[in-house]
Amino acid sequence: MHKYFIFFIFFIQYSYSQNYRVIYDFTYKPDSLKKDSDNLEMVLDVQKDYTKFYYRKLIKLDSLVRSGSIISYTFPIQQIIKRKTSSFKNENFVNVAGIYYNYPSIDDIKWKILPQTKLSDNYKLQKAEAIWGGRKWIAWFSLEMPVSEGPYKFKGLPGLIFEVKDSNDNFNYKLVSINKILSDYDTSNIVESNLGVKPVSITLKQYQKLLIDNYNNPFGEYYTMKEGTWGLTIFDKHINSLEGLKSIKKDYQLQIINNYNPIELDKAVKYQ
């Protein structure tokens, strides 16, 4: 038993000396009251020093930017994360009203490992459950990949998380592929910055206030600009006046409410 324990520790250390890229299919409901769901492909890069989680599409956008293209992007759900490998302290990267921010959080998930197992693509998976972020989560992990990581902030099990979803089926991550990569992938344009624009460091409370302010006063930056010098298209309408902004305010606020299904309910803001 003692020799096995030493071997297991060595195996974990060896695994963390490898670089892995794990692709997950992420299915989520923008509106928890509807059956409709969307999906995105997500990347988990497990490196010796850092673990990063981000949208797979960003790899293509990064390549375009590095070749000289000028682009911008937004995603419907905020899930860009960076942390020191083996740490529960996450750096969250978010976009509010076109500005990139980052804020820290400590997300220590207390898992209960259960005896149930199943096979998935020749990997033996074991079940675990946790209450975290105001939701109940069910995960399946593999001891055959002793990397204590997983999608988003889900980690802390004695093996790579292959699947994790909440009990109400609002969010579901499922592993698509695992590959070893030879070196750390440079994410400086797509994680640590928004295509080269560095984030503004804030706190969680400041982030929550930004969400409320964006709801109460959408398009606030345009109210300080001279009419005729700006324009935007929203809801298939071209808006270039303050009256035009006022006319779509309620529809914009309703869209925010209908698409606000935060993965961490305990950090949710209350729109009124």
**Pair of tokens at residue 28:** 């989520």
Q: pLDDT tens digits for 135-182? A: 999 999 999 998 999 999 999 999 999 999 999 999 999 999 999 987
CATH class of the 2-181 domain in this structure: mainly beta
Torsion of CA 119, 263, 29, 81, to 10 degrees: -70
| Per-residue model confidence (pLDDT) at position 211 | 96
Q: What is the pLDDT of residue 6?
A: 39
Check: pTM over 0.75? Answer yes or no.
yes
Q: What is the pLDDT of residues 37-78, one digit of tens each?
A: 999 999 999 999 999 999 999 998 888 888 888 776 777 778
| Domain boundaries of the chain, sorted by first residue | 2-181, 203-267
Identify the pLDDT of residue 143. Answer: 97
Q: What is the mean pLDDT of residues 107-127?
A: 96
CB 32 within 8 A of CB 261: yes
What is the predicted pLDDT for the residue at 130? 98
9 has a pLDDT exceeding 60: no
Q: How far apart are CA 188 and CA 260, in angstroms?
A: 28
pLDDT at 70: 73
DSSP state of 109: -
Which helix (H) or strand (E) element contains residue 30? none
Phi, psi of 221, rounded to the nearest 5 degrees: -65, -25
Nearest to 190 by CA among 88, 53, 97: 53
Are 92 and 80 contacting, i.e. CB atoms less than 8 angstroms apart? yes
pLDDT of 250 above 80: yes
